[in-house]
Structure 1
């Protein structure tokens, strides 16, 4: 049976935001709708750092992933893929740990809390860097073929930012808010509890 005795209101808010951030970022990474272009048949062509969908509906299910890591178009997108994967793993680990902390009394001591919150901050940093360097890969020939010759670094040409990229930005902001709640709560307490 779960006991909530070691949690306070900021801890519940931190847990809720951590879980929401992990879910939204994971969904944003999974779908390839980072950059989109309308297709002739009314569907949407979509592309992300590691997947391409041609002629699918508004939500890109059943898309093709690159066959190998070397097939990813640009070094920026390769770095982005690695950082997004590591960041997502950290956010999921933080979310699961925070949920487990709801059920285990006094699970979190100072060392565990610092590790968990530092992991969340590191995940946010990985996501921010990934979201910033992703547009640097728009000057690759494959992206120019997809988005038109006017596309280049930080210029989408005939494409637009997709909903999955925006969702990932939102999840990153939520994770940053969660991390700041935990650090601010720590500063105002004599005895450290999560967050």
Structure 2
């Protein structure tokens, strides 16, 4: 008969895995990676205020007279022209998408770890933790590729001629970048936490409850 085992550390690992995945996913979807300079436009002699345009990995937003207009500039996916969707940003999107997909699977594995602590005699915690570390590496590569693309024609049009790889010129970094960085750090923390989760679910205290015939072991 299977056992449901939950400890404070394993529960923290499960919740942190879910939060981490959602953090990077939300950052990837939000066009707040780069914030361009505020612009003043003129239409038939009338001054029209324009809020700062923002750009994400594959989408962008503009603000005109307090009206926000957002859209996806990668209309043809990875086949979109490189002047519109920089090649390095395409690579960045692939890395982030792979990382988020992997983390989504590890989130499901983390939930299953309550009922199934091993697969083919291998700890589901350590295997999942190793996969999470790999996802963290993909996130780092995604960040590097995105920053390398700051010298593309799209970024130069937004941030000025001085923009180049790893330098934004007149633009500033949006909160989505910080969210992605936070998610990356948390991903490595979850990978390390998986080791502690494995130890607590196989501790002597847990084994004592299992030997008593208890099918639900909850040590919080």
Name the TM-score class by shorter chain.
0.7 to 0.9
Gaps of 5+ in 2: 40-48, 207-220
Give the number of aligned pairs: 186
Say whether 1:52 aligns with 2:60.
yes
- Distance in 2 between residues matched to 1:131 and 1:27, nearest whole Å: 15
* Aligned match of 1:125: 137
Normalized per residue, the structure richer in helix is 1
Distance 1:166 1:45 in 2: 18
**1:190–1:33 CA distance, 2 compared to 1 (3 A):** closer
Tell me by how many angstroms 1:15 deviates.
Answer: 0.9
Match of 1:108 in 2: 117
TM-score scaled to structure 1, two decimals?
0.83
Residue 96 (structure 2) aligns with: 84
Cα shift at 1:20:
0.9
Q: Which protein is richer in strand relative to its size?
A: 2
TM-score, L = length of structure 2: 0.74
Aligned-pair distance for 1:29?
0.4
Structure-2 separation of matches of 1:170 and 1:57:
33
CA contact (8 A) 1:44 1:57 kept: no
Q: CA deviation at 1:19?
A: 1.0
Q: Greater CA radius of gyration, 1 or 2?
A: 2
The 3 A distance-change label for structure 1 pair 151 and 160 is same
Q: What's the Cα RMSD here?
A: 2.8
| 1:56/1:49 CA distance change after superposition, 3 Å | farther
Structure 1: tracts of 5 or more residues without a match: none
Aligned-residue offset at 1:145: 0.6
Change beyond 3 A, Cα 1:5–1:112: closer
Deviates more, 1:142-151 or 1:116-125: 116-125
